[in-house]
Amino acid sequence: MYFSDHGAPGFLIFPHDSLYADELENTIKTMHNNTMYKELVMFIEACESGSLFQNMDLSALNAWALTATNATSPSYGTYCYPHDSIND
Protein backbone atom coordinates (compact mmCIF):
# COMPACT_ATOMS: atom_id res chain seq x y z
CA MET A 1 0.00 0.00 0.00
CA TYR A 2 1.33 3.45 -0.89
CA PHE A 3 -0.08 6.71 0.47
CA SER A 4 1.18 10.19 -0.34
CA ASP A 5 -0.73 13.22 0.91
CA HIS A 6 -1.16 15.20 4.10
CA GLY A 7 -0.73 14.00 7.65
CA ALA A 8 -0.64 15.25 11.22
CA PRO A 9 0.17 13.58 14.55
CA GLY A 10 -1.96 10.45 14.73
CA PHE A 11 -3.83 10.70 11.44
CA LEU A 12 -3.78 11.01 7.66
CA ILE A 13 -5.78 13.69 5.88
CA PHE A 14 -7.88 13.08 2.76
CA PRO A 15 -9.74 15.76 0.80
CA HIS A 16 -13.03 15.12 2.62
CA ASP A 17 -12.10 12.86 5.54
CA SER A 18 -9.34 11.68 7.88
CA LEU A 19 -7.95 8.30 8.89
CA TYR A 20 -6.84 8.02 12.51
CA ALA A 21 -4.14 5.67 13.78
CA ASP A 22 -6.59 3.57 15.81
CA GLU A 23 -8.82 3.14 12.74
CA LEU A 24 -5.82 2.06 10.66
CA GLU A 25 -4.76 -0.40 13.36
CA ASN A 26 -8.27 -1.88 13.61
CA THR A 27 -8.42 -2.25 9.82
CA ILE A 28 -5.04 -4.01 9.69
CA LYS A 29 -6.06 -6.32 12.57
CA THR A 30 -9.35 -7.17 10.83
CA MET A 31 -7.55 -7.88 7.57
CA HIS A 32 -4.97 -10.03 9.37
CA ASN A 33 -7.57 -11.98 11.37
CA ASN A 34 -9.57 -12.67 8.20
CA THR A 35 -6.48 -13.77 6.23
CA MET A 36 -6.89 -10.96 3.71
CA TYR A 37 -3.14 -10.78 3.13
CA LYS A 38 -0.06 -12.91 3.63
CA GLU A 39 2.27 -9.95 4.17
CA LEU A 40 1.40 -6.27 4.22
CA VAL A 41 3.85 -3.49 3.39
CA MET A 42 2.85 0.17 3.76
CA PHE A 43 4.71 3.18 2.41
CA ILE A 44 3.39 6.43 3.89
CA GLU A 45 4.62 9.83 2.65
CA ALA A 46 2.95 12.39 4.89
CA CYS A 47 3.93 14.77 7.66
CA GLU A 48 4.25 13.12 11.09
CA SER A 49 3.52 9.75 9.42
CA GLY A 50 5.66 7.88 11.95
CA SER A 51 3.03 8.69 14.58
CA LEU A 52 0.58 6.25 12.97
CA PHE A 53 2.58 3.24 14.13
CA GLN A 54 3.94 4.36 17.51
CA ASN A 55 1.71 2.05 19.57
CA MET A 56 1.16 -0.65 16.96
CA ASP A 57 2.83 -4.07 16.98
CA LEU A 58 3.13 -4.60 13.23
CA SER A 59 5.29 -7.71 13.55
CA ALA A 60 2.40 -9.54 15.26
CA LEU A 61 0.28 -8.69 12.21
CA ASN A 62 2.91 -9.74 9.65
CA ALA A 63 3.02 -6.14 8.44
CA TRP A 64 5.72 -3.55 7.84
CA ALA A 65 5.62 0.22 7.45
CA LEU A 66 8.07 2.71 5.99
CA THR A 67 7.22 6.32 6.72
CA ALA A 68 8.61 9.54 5.29
CA THR A 69 9.32 10.97 8.73
CA ASN A 70 9.03 10.39 12.44
CA ALA A 71 6.08 11.20 14.71
CA THR A 72 6.86 14.90 15.12
CA SER A 73 8.47 16.18 11.90
CA PRO A 74 7.05 17.41 8.60
CA SER A 75 7.99 15.42 5.52
CA TYR A 76 8.65 18.34 3.16
CA GLY A 77 7.17 16.68 0.08
CA THR A 78 8.62 17.66 -3.28
CA TYR A 79 6.40 18.71 -6.14
CA CYS A 80 7.25 18.25 -9.79
CA TYR A 81 6.44 20.01 -13.03
CA PRO A 82 5.27 22.66 -13.51
CA HIS A 83 6.43 23.76 -10.03
CA ASP A 84 9.91 22.26 -10.17
CA SER A 85 12.81 24.66 -10.32
CA ILE A 86 16.59 24.34 -10.08
CA ASN A 87 18.58 27.57 -9.74
CA ASP A 88 15.45 29.57 -10.61
Catalytic hit among 6, 16, 32, 83? 6
Distance CA 39, CA 20 (A): 22
- Does 82 reside within a domain? no
| Per-residue model confidence as pLDDT tens digits over 31-61 | 999 999 999 999 999 999 999 999 999 999 9
The whole domain housing 7 covers: 2-67
Banded model confidence at residue 75, pLDDT cuts 50, 70, 90: confident
User: Active site includes 6?
Assistant: yes
Phi/psi of residue 73, each to 5°?
-115, 150
Residue 25 placed within a domain? yes
Is 74 contained in some domain?
no
Look at residue 80 in the predicted model and tell me its pLDDT. 63
Helices (H), 4-85: 21-33
Would you say residue 12 has pLDDT above 70? yes
SS3 of 58, please? Answer: helix
Rg (CA), the chain: 15
pTM score of the predicted model: 0.82
Structural domain tally of the chain? 1
Q: Compute the average pLDDT of residues 62-72.
A: 96
In a domain, 11, yes or no: yes
